Every structure is written in C-alpha cells, then in structure tokens.
Amino acid sequence: MALSAGFAIPGTMGLLAWAPRAEAADLSIDLAARRGDVTMIDGTSALMFGFSTTDAMSWPGPTLVCQEGDTITVNLENTLHTSVVFHVGATNIRHQASAQSVISFSFAAPPAGTYLYYDDQNNGVNRIMGLHGTLVVMPAGIKDRPFVGGPQFVRQYKWMFSNVDPSWGEQVRTLGDYQVNSIAPDSFKPRYFTINGHAYENTHEYNTELMGHYDEAAYVRMLNAGGIVHAPHFHGNHVEMVTINYERFSAPFKNKDAVSMFPLDVRDVIYPFKAPPDAYPPVTANTIQHFPMHCHSEMSQTAGGGSYPHGAHAPIVMGTAPQTESDLTQKVDDLS
Ligand SMILES: [Cu+2]
C-alpha cells in the first residue's frame, strides 16, 4: 500500500450511486480540494493537492460514474489558499472556486465515454499537483458496452496515469498554496509514476491488475493526467483501440501493442484475454498466464530517480477471474 494510513484508497469511494434504470437521474457528490502528504513507493513524502470525498486528503480524485441523460451536481469545497477549477476535458464544463470557498454547480452528463476532470490552471501545474480524477459516462441502460454500438466486455478498469515531482510540493509547503501560481511548468522533474495512485508492486490491487478468464474481454479506460508522454505496452495480447480522445472507432479495431498518450490524452482499449496467438510453447486456455503492462517511457518504470521497477507497471493475469471485481465493474453491474 503506497498511501499513508488514514488515506482514502483511490477508487474505493466516491462513486456516484447507480440504480438500475433506463431513465435519467439527478446525482450529486461532495468534493473537497485538499492538500496533504502522500507516501511514495520508496517512503518519500510528497505534498500534493487532491479532490477528496472525505475529511482526509486523497489522490487521485474519485471516479464519478453516471450515465447519459443524467444531471450531476457537484458541491465543491475548496480548502486551499488558492483558487481551484473543476474542468471536464473536451467539454465546456468549467467551474472555479476561489480560495477557501464553497461552490455548487450542475451539468448534464456528456456523451458516453471516459473523461479527465482536472484543474486546468497554471499550465498544468495544478493538475499535476494532484487535482485530477475520472468521469465515466455509460450509455443509458447498458452495462457491457461503452456506448451504443460499442464492443462488448465482461469487466472494465480505469487506469489513471499520474506523475509526482516532490520538489513542487516542497515549494507549496514552504511558500503557501498560492505559490503554486509561481511554479514553472518547465521545472518539472518527475520522480514517481503511478497508475490509480499506485506504483509497482502496489499495482497488484483489484482496480489496477487486469484479470480474466480466456475470452473475457476487459475494457480499459486510460487517462494521462501527468506531465510526460506515457506509452503503455501490453504483453500477452494486443489491445484493440476503441476510442482516442473521444473519437469512437468501430470494429474491426486497430490492434496496438504500445499506446502512446500525451498529457491530457484519453484512450479506451479492449484487452481481449485471448490465448496469445504467437507464443511458444503454445498457450492452452486452461492455464493461468502472467503478463506485464509496462510503460515504454522508460523513466516511468523507476521511482526516486532510479529504483526499478517501481513505476507505471501493471500485472495482467489470464485464465482466472478476480476475487473482487473492480469498483467500476461492480458499479456498472448494479445495472440490470
Ligand atoms: Cu514490453
């Protein structure tokens, strides 16, 4: 567990409630912009910002789940001594809370898809400091496809890629929250690289480790909230490219082994969990196989300037089902 005690475990809370329904609903969530120390994989403490659903600091922000047609109300308490923005990428949804204020706003769910919500101030500094999370919009009344006419899956995952430069947090700690305004984006020297807030080997957790029986396709929603290019490379299977930054493709999907993502990019892919077609010795479908996803941006496989492989690396287990389904899968399975 990379996070300190009392910390909200990313992805385990803050999911908007599902109800089995084909009709639209009004959903609401309380978010607080907070600061706090996050323990990195090597024990280093980094001061970060985050969108939290509790009295404790948490990062990354909660995964908000809704479906098309819904209206979402956000009650945002900004506890920071600097303004905070809630912006949903690729939409006009943008609301600013001044320092130490509370705002409420509502918006209509954008089209079904995966969205990065984040603070877009200071040329990416606020986002990289930790003010980011995921909004998942499902099609109304459908739980096994990402949008009407999209590919079918058995379970789904979200991979939020983030980077941490602890020197930024130290500037804020020393000078105050407001001084986030004076941090130069070019000064970014990331030392920690995480998926869903975890670095390997803490990525052996049920929201990040991909698991499935043969032919149980997983839908993986990948977001790059960090400040570097990521290129997740999948072993075992190629992935099928379903969306690139909100553009939807239809079958037959382009197959990729490495999926390049610039900062702010969002990619949805299918990991098909097929018996690897070109492995030797041949893989038979009644065995359990282990594969990695590692990022081809090589520095992201390290922590603290060199400790390998404690970075953006996730395990894939083929041939068995997870003991606990991912939070995203559980919430969507509540639809009937
Ligand atoms: Cu590789």
The pLDDT tens digits for 219-262 are 999 999 999 999 999 999 999 999 999 899 999 999 999 999 99
Say what the alpha-carbon torsion angle 251, 257, 263, 269 is, to the nearest 10 degrees: 30
The percentage of the chain sitting over the pLDDT mark of 70, rounded to a whole number, equals 93
Q: Quick one: pLDDT at residue 2?
A: 28
In tens, the pLDDT along 102-149 reads 999 999 999 999 999 999 999 999 999 999 999 999 999 999 999 999
Cα separation of 170 and 81, whole Å?
16
- What would you report as the CA-atom Rg of the chain, rounded to the nearest whole angstrom? 19
CA of 168 to the centre of ligand 1 (A): 31
Q: Share the mean pLDDT of the chain.
A: 92
Record the tokens describing residue 9, joined without a space.
């475990």
CA of 257 to the centre of ligand 1 (A): 8
Cα separation of 95 and 106, whole Å?
10
178 lies in the same domain as 300? yes
> What residue numbers bound the domain in which 164 lies?
155-333
In tens, the pLDDT along 245-256 reads 989 999 999 999
Record the tokens describing residue 49, joined without a space.
């910002």
133 lies in the same domain as 168? no
Number of domain units in the chain: 2
| Chain centre to alpha carbon of residue 232 | 13
CA of 235 to the centre of ligand 1 (A): 6
Cα separation of 27 and 24, whole Å?
10
Q: Cβ(309)–Cβ(200) under 8 Å?
A: yes
Record the tokens describing residue 201, joined without a space.
């080997």
CA of 234 to the centre of ligand 1 (A): 6
Q: Is 119 left (phi over 0), alpha (psi -120 to 50) or beta?
A: beta
* Average pLDDT, integer, range 318-324: 97
CA of 150 to the centre of ligand 1 (A): 27
User: 283: domain CATH number?
Assistant: 2.60.40.420
Residue 295 lies in a domain: yes
CA of 213 to the centre of ligand 1 (A): 22
177 lies in the same domain as 255? yes
In tens, the pLDDT along 262-280 reads 999 999 999 999 999 878 8
